[in-house]
Structure 1
Amino acid sequence: MSETATAPGTAESTATLTTFWYLVHTKPRQETIALTNLERQGYACYLPQMRIERVRRGKALVVTEAMFPRYLFIQLDSSDQAKSWAPIRSTLGVSQLVRFGTQTARVDDALVDLLREREQARPLEALFHSGETVVITRGPFAGIEAIYQTADAERRALILLEIMSRKVEMRVDAGDLARVE
């Protein structure tokens, strides 16, 4: 216990001993709706997210997605004086609290702290990586394989295309590329 901790038996120390993280199962693609509505009701919540490049309507965009689709963390007090948990299951976007039998699944504080650290340190997850073989999906070069080099500021991709035994640099929309499986 640190030197600044409160004395045992005080309201603050009791709250910390009875407050734990739990897992909320949300409705499909409604993690942010559930998060907003739970926070509006005064619950402390955490939704781990990641930034990732995705192709939408033929364009490469950076989007923010839930790290664990359909799940978010909620901090609840399990003491007798605690706020009721009953409103959680009827909250818009929430399906239910995760349970194992009759026991509500408790999540270790260290895991939530680790997820927060990783979320902050995690770089943007790129659509393609340098040196990766891609195939052009649209335009006059559709169906031809190329080597992905890099992306520019306008979300266009620089690729190396082999034409007549020569490698030629070419810029295309990243949305016009696909990974070679």
Structure 2
Amino acid sequence: MPAISSERSNWYLLQCKPHQDERAHLNLRQQNYTVYHPQLLTERVIRGKQQQRRESLFPGYLFIHLGGNDNWAPIRFTRGISRFVEFNHGPATVAENVIEHLRARCSGSSISHNDPPLTPGDHLQINRGPLSGLEGVFIASHGAERVMILLQFLNREQTVCMPLSDLTRPHSSFQANL
């Protein structure tokens, strides 16, 4: 079992058994551990239909937050967990700022993963970048994290490809006025 080198809490990297990331994440959370499983929303064609689904950013790995007084023993026997990732004969620690960056990157999309998927014709508002404040209409997805939108800009319609994280859905009262 890995030894803890300090009394302060750290994030550690766990390797999961093949295709058991979700199972390991759920089982660790049920044991009241703080676990982070970074995921991104991706679009795939499944059975001829384009669908959005969440996929692991690091398949086969989870991050767990543990302190010097936490009990590490149950982790070894948790279903779905293979082992702690180790470097230099000790568990690999991950800096807090790395976890914060991953959280911001994975949840950076202002369009929530719980929102219904975008469909052509949906109205969107740009909230970051040089086109901030403009409104457009969703045309299509362009990869996992970018979309094509139609803007009324410079007295004509322009098609623009931009990051999904720079867009929000307008409030329903705003949308009704369009």
Common topology (TM > 0.5)? yes
| 2:21 alignment partner, one of 19, 31, 45 | 31
Alignment correspondent of 1:97 = 84
Q: Report how many aligned residue pairs link the two structures.
A: 110
Alignment correspondent of 2:70 = 83
Alignment correspondent of 1:40 = 30
**Identity value in percent:** 41
| Alpha-carbon separation, structure 2, partners of 1:30 and 1:123 | 29
Alignment correspondent of 1:110 = 97
Residue 151 of structure 1: CA displacement? 3.6
Q: 1:68 to 1:122 in 2, by over 3 A?
A: farther
Residue 123 of structure 1: CA displacement? 7.4
Q: Say which SS state the counterpart of residue 28 (structure 2) adopts.
A: helix
| 1:63 alignment partner, one of 53, 56, 74 | 53
1:143-169 C-alpha deviation (Å, 9 max, x unpaired): xxxxxxx549xxxxxxxxxxxxxxxxx
Structure 1: 5+ residue runs without aligned partners? Answer: 1-16, 125-149, 153-181
Amino acid aligned to 2:47:
R
Residue 58 of structure 1: CA displacement? 2.3
8 Å contact 1:50–1:122 — kept in the other structure?
Answer: no
TM-score (norm 2): 0.56
Task: Provide the aligned C-alpha RMSD in A.
Answer: 2.3
1:7-53 C-alpha deviation (Å, 9 max, x unpaired): xxxxxxxxxx6110000111122111111100111110111110000
Q: Say which SS state the counterpart of residue 19 (structure 2) adopts.
A: coil
Rg larger in 1 or in 2?
1
Residue 100 of structure 1: CA displacement? 1.4
Q: Say which SS state the counterpart of residue 51 (structure 2) adopts.
A: strand
Amino acid aligned to 2:27:
N
Alignment correspondent of 1:13 = none
| Alpha-carbon separation, structure 1, partners of 2:86 and 2:28 | 18
